Amino acid sequence: MFKFLSILFIIIICGCNQTIISDFQNGHRCYIEKNITIFENQLYPFTFSDFHKERIIKYFNKNTLIDSGFNLTARGDSIKFYRFYNDDSRVIFDGFPANKIFNIAVLELNSDLFRFKNGIRIGIAKMDFFNTLELDESNCDTVDIMDIKRQKGYYFRFVFKNDILKSIRREYIHG
């Protein structure tokens, strides 16, 4: 715990645009800080305004299954969701239909379900991953990309096995 707080303190003091910190006690995990908004704009091939399923589907594998429905918020507001999925991956968009602005509620990729704009994909070599993100290559098996200002409630986790990207997740920060 003390080690984590020390590292966090260094990150805050440094104020760097991008910092790689390795924690070798946790299976070679690296933490990279970036402006998540810029990172997402480089990653996603679409915007989240004026959502239309027909515009989004072209970025998914042709065998992708789609379903949709409504959930209620604690205040009783209706939220529309769209789930794009296959046997081992899923992307769920949700939002308020009236303003047509949607967010990614769940991003769990273990297959080629979805294509990112910048070429990041399941199966990419670790060296190509780091080159695509313009980072120095590392021996990390797990790469967490977090918002540099800690203003977002989530981060991205990229997991490698044998130097091949096997999993991409958008994880929520709890606490």
**Is 19 in contact with 7 (CB distance < 8 Å)?**
no
Q: What is the pLDDT of residue 149?
A: 76
Which token pair is 159?
């997991």
Best CA proximity match to 127, nearest among 97, 164, 153? 164
What is the mean pLDDT of the segment spanning 66-94? Answer: 90
**Ranges 69-83, 94-108, 118-132, 146-160, most confident:** 118-132
Q: DSSP H helical segments within 18-138, as ranges?
A: 36-43, 53-56, 126-132
What is the distance between the alpha carbons of residues 175 and 172, in angstroms, rounded to a whole number? 10
**Is 10 in contact with 17 (CB distance < 8 Å)?**
no
Sorting pLDDT into bands at 50, 70 and 90, what band is 27? low
Backbone angles phi, psi at 120, to 5 degrees: -65, 135
**Is 130 in contact with 140 (CB distance < 8 Å)?**
no
Q: What is the pLDDT of residue 16?
A: 40
What is the distance between the alpha carbons of residues 75 and 138, in angstroms, rounded to a whole number? 46
173 HSE (CA, 13 A, CB side): 11
What is the CA 118 to chain-centroid distance, rounded? 13
Best CA proximity match to 91, nearest among 130, 127, 133, 122? 122
Sorting pLDDT into bands at 50, 70 and 90, what band is 132? very high
**Ranges 10-19, 74-83, 153-162, most confident:** 153-162
Q: 49-63 pLDDT, tens per residue?
A: 777 788 888 899 999
Tell me the average pLDDT of the chain. Answer: 82
